[in-house]
Amino acid sequence: MLAVARRRGIRTVPAIAPLGLALGRLRIRILSPPPRAPGPPPEDPNPRGVVAVVSAPGLRLLLSADAESDALLPLALPPVDAMKVPHHGSADAGLPRVLERLRPRMAAIEVGDNTYGHPTASTLAALRRAAISTYRTDRHGTISLSVQAGGLRVRSENPDPG
């Protein structure tokens, strides 16, 4: 993708914290990863995934990549309306603390058929305990959010996955 952007003369910037971008009324704030420390890259790249807060009038969304609670909790996380659940819904003992800080009304789990057991029962239970409407791409298909006069609206390919 970067090669295509270069060929087309599109300016790119590394998604390294702290970075803020504005596209009309849309704001993107990169919270992580920080600039890389000297030395070899870490064995586990997940904590260095791009974590961003996307804001538009009436909506604040956390995009968490695969960064789990140990990478998220040190960040300046604002309350959000919706979030992408980290790491396909894998087990994360710190997720309840993340949810308590973020207070989302909606969460999306990007997951497909897998042998890892994602999303885990503990993650689904944490989302239920926090009374968060949860959507899963393996059951709901494509999920989209929009802001309506009455607030956040969620649509999915399969609204009733049964």
Q: Quick one: tokens of 41? A: 């890259």
Please indicate, yes or no, if residue 161 is contained in any of the structural domains. no
Q: DSSP letter for 86, please.
A: G
What is the chain's mean pLDDT, rounded?
92
Please indicate, yes or no, if residue 98 is contained in any of the structural domains. yes
Q: Quick one: tokens of 70? A: 């140990």
Please indicate, yes or no, if residue 39 is contained in any of the structural domains. no
> 40 pLDDT exceeds 80?
no
Q: Quick one: tokens of 19? A: 């970075």
Instruction: Give me the CATH number covering residue 123.
Output: 3.60.15.10
Please indicate, yes or no, if residue 42 is contained in any of the structural domains. no
At residue 18's C-alpha, the angle toward residues 153 and 77, to 5°, is 45
Backbone angles phi, psi at 47, to 5 degrees: -65, -15
Percent of the chain residues past pLDDT 70, beyond the cut: 99
Please indicate, yes or no, if residue 90 is contained in any of the structural domains. yes
Can you tell me the distance from the alpha carbon of 124 to that of 134, in angstroms, rounded to the nearest whole number? 8
Residue 90: pLDDT band by 50, 70, 90 thresholds?
A: very high
- Domain count for the chain: 1
- Which tens digit of pLDDT belongs to each residue from 104-129? 999 999 999 999 999 999 999 999 99
Q: Quick one: tokens of 52? A: 């961003």
Please indicate, yes or no, if residue 122 is contained in any of the structural domains. yes
Domain coverage including residue 70: 16-33+47-156
Selected residue with higher pLDDT from 162 and 148? 148
Please indicate, yes or no, if residue 7 is contained in any of the structural domains. no
Please indicate, yes or no, if residue 132 is contained in any of the structural domains. yes
The model carries a pTM of 0.88
Least confident of 14-23, 41-50, 91-100, 152-161: 41-50
